């Protein structure tokens, strides 16, 4: 899907910040302006990208500075730029705030130096090589909520709703009802393969249904181009397909990695980042068998590399 980098006004005073190609690390963000104040939905994967975004947004926040940031979940491509916002409200779900401590920038920096084998190292270089993590100071959320939180900006109300665990432990969507806009965070990868770090898959499917029930005119995905409520359908189809394929092979004795290789991904193989099937199969197996042990991060990264370059 072709789309352009930068700021797009999606409703009066509501803006999406898009980053093609939407693959590993290239996430979207958003801005909601109000009466003398503005709210940012997510920061980006490193300081260079986040500063570029803030520079692009600067003309829009003259006289209405960014006083709050919502991190839709804990992943670094939605949080690592927090330090550039200064003394502002940094809002996240309670679960996301806890999870932020588990994958600090230092871990991503160290991952680049790990020996993950030829394919694993190539994968890490391709996926994370463009980003710099060694100059980031983690800035966690300083305000959390458990289920819902409304933020009144004067011109708009931003309704935050916890829909995780799904992609991660603490996924949140940001709905601007009067504008008909939903920022989904990584509940939606539009045109790309999702990655199920947490699950269960049923929760993710329920989150998709919740977004559709809000009947937004514009849906801003965590990755990929803008869409509308109907744009959730392809992702929902993928999740249903995944559970059917994994369920049909449970009890075969295959490992998660072998099972992923055994599945014919069909048209989904053409989605970007198809190697995430390895992680997704692992998550689906955990849903279907509580005794299943999830892959550790090193093995997961190495096996995604092997799938990407050898499948």
**96 token code pair:** 């996301």
For the ranges 32-46, 95-109, 184-198, which has the lowest average pLDDT? 95-109
- Across the range 151-177, mean pLDDT stands at 98
What mean pLDDT do residues 117-124 have?
A: 98
Overall domain count for the chain: 1
Is 186 contained in some domain?
yes
Q: What is the pLDDT of residue 1?
A: 58
208: pLDDT confidence band, cut at 50, 70 and 90?
A: very high
Q: Is the pLDDT of residue 9 over 90?
A: yes
Tell me, yes or no, whether 198 lies in a domain: yes
Q: Would you state the pLDDT for residue 151?
A: 98
Provide the 3-class DSSP secondary structure of residue 46: coil
Mean pLDDT, to the nearest integer, of 234-242? 98
State the average pLDDT over residues 193-208: 98
- Residue 90 — left, alpha, or beta (φ > 0 → left; ψ -120 to 50 → alpha)? beta
Report residue 185 as tokens.
């965070």
Residue 284 falls inside a structural domain: no
What average pLDDT does the segment 118-143 reach? 97
Residue 12 vs residues 9, 46, 267: alpha-carbon distances, Å:
7, 29, 37
The model's pTM: 0.97
Give a yes or no: residue 146 inside a domain: yes
Strand 172-176 relative to strand 157-162: parallel, antiparallel, unpaired? Answer: antiparallel
User: By three-state DSSP, how is residue 131 classified?
Assistant: coil
Determine the distance from the C-alpha atom of residue 127 to the mean position of all C-alpha atoms in its chain, rounded to a whole number: 15
Residue 279 within a domain: no
User: For residue 37, what is the domain's CATH number?
Assistant: 3.60.15.10
Please indicate, yes or no, if residue 138 is contained in any of the structural domains. Answer: yes
Average pLDDT in the chain: 97
What is the rounded distance in angstroms from the CA atom of residue 51 to the CA atom of residue 227? 26
Query: Phi/psi at 32 (nearest 5 deg)?
Result: -120, 120
How much is the pLDDT for 103?
A: 86
- The residue assigned the tokens 């819902």 is 148
pLDDT at 127: 97
Q: Which domain holds residue 56?
A: 6-229
Chain-centroid distance of CA 80 in Å reads 13
- Asked if residue 272 belongs to a domain, the reply is no
Q: Say which residue the tokens 């499917």 belong to.
A: 205
Cα-trace Rg, the chain: 19
Domain membership flag for residue 38: yes
Among positive and negative, which fits the CA dihedral 173, 166, 211, 26? positive
């Amino acid at each position: 899907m072709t789309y352009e980098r930068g700021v797009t006004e999606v409703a009066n005073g509501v803006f999406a910040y898009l980053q093609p190609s939407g693959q590993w690390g290239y996430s979207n963000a958003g801005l909601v302006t109000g009466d003398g104040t503005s709210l940012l939905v997510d920061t980006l994967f490193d300081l260079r990208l986040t500063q570029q975004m803030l520079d692009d947004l600067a003309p829009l926040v003259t006289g209405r500075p960014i006083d709050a940031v919502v991190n839709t979940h804990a992943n670094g491509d939605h949080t690592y730029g927090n330090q550039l916002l200064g003394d502002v409200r940094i809002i996240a779900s309670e679960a996301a705030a806890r999870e932020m401590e588990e994958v600090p920038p230092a871990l991503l920096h160290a991952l680049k130096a790990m020996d993950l084998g030829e394919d694993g190292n190539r994968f890490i270089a391709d996926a994370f090589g463009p980003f710099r993590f060694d100059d980031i100071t983690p800035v966690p959320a300083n305000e959390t909520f458990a289920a819902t939180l409304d933020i009144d900006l004067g011109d708009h109300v931003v309704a935050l709703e916890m829909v995780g665990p799904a992609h991660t432990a603490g996924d949140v969507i940001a709905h601007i009802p009067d504008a008909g806009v939903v920022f989904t965070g990584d509940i939606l990868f539009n045109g790309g393969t999702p990655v199920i770090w947490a699950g269960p898959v049923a929760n993710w499917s329920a989150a998709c249904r919740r977004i559709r029930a809000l009947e937004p005119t514009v849906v801003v995905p965590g990755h990929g181009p803008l869409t509308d409520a109907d744009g959730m359908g392809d992702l929902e189809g993928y999740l249903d397909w995944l559970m059917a394929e994994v369920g049909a092979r449970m009890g075969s004795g295959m490992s998660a990695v072998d099972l992923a290789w055994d599945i014919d991904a069909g048209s989904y193989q053409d989605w970007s980042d198809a190697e995430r099937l390895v992680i997704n199969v692992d998550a689906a197996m955990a849903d279907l068998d509580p005794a299943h042990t999830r892959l550790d991060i090193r093995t997961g990264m190495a096996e995604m590399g092997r799938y990407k370059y050898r499948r």
